[in-house]
Amino acid sequence: MSKPITGFEDLEWRLRICRPAFQDFQRLLPRYRVRSELNRQLHKLRWWDPNEPLVIDLQWNRVEPTGLAELLVQLDDGVVDTVRVLFFEHSPNPPVPTLWILGGMRSDETFGSLQYAIYSGRSTIVQARAD
């Protein structure tokens, strides 16, 4: 396992990626190389600080009123420029802080009531199964 990046807080989050998120990324990014780049970018969430506007060099925002957060990842792909990755924090074991990656969508897609229902449902399922 790689060592944490120096200069950041000692807290290192555990990352869990839900199966529907893999399916979202497969649909959005058909090229393996681009999905691999997204995976490398997602690992930066291990040093996520809810009080800072950036995760290392990636911008993130709260999605109100859902309790979810979104990470904006810019990729070098001819089809999708920026991916909106939705995640939330839920730690079934409090000493081990955990972030759950629920899925992703194109950044130019609107986050409407359908997306709200989908990602809220995914977070509810994660919470029920994780506890």
Sequence-distant (≥ 6) Cβ neighbours of residue 15 within 8 angstroms: 42, 43, 45, 46, 98, 99, 101
Give the residue-averaged pLDDT of 43-55: 90
Sequence-distant (≥ 6) Cβ neighbours of residue 130 within 8 angstroms: 90, 92, 98, 100
pLDDT tens digit sequence for 53-99: 888 888 999 888 778 999 999 887 666 788 999 999 998 887 888 99
Segments of the chain assigned E as strands: 14-17, 54-55, 58-63, 68-74, 82-89, 98-106
- Tokens 């997602």 correspond to 42
pTM: 0.84
Asked whether the predicted pLDDT for residue 122 surpasses 90, the reply is yes
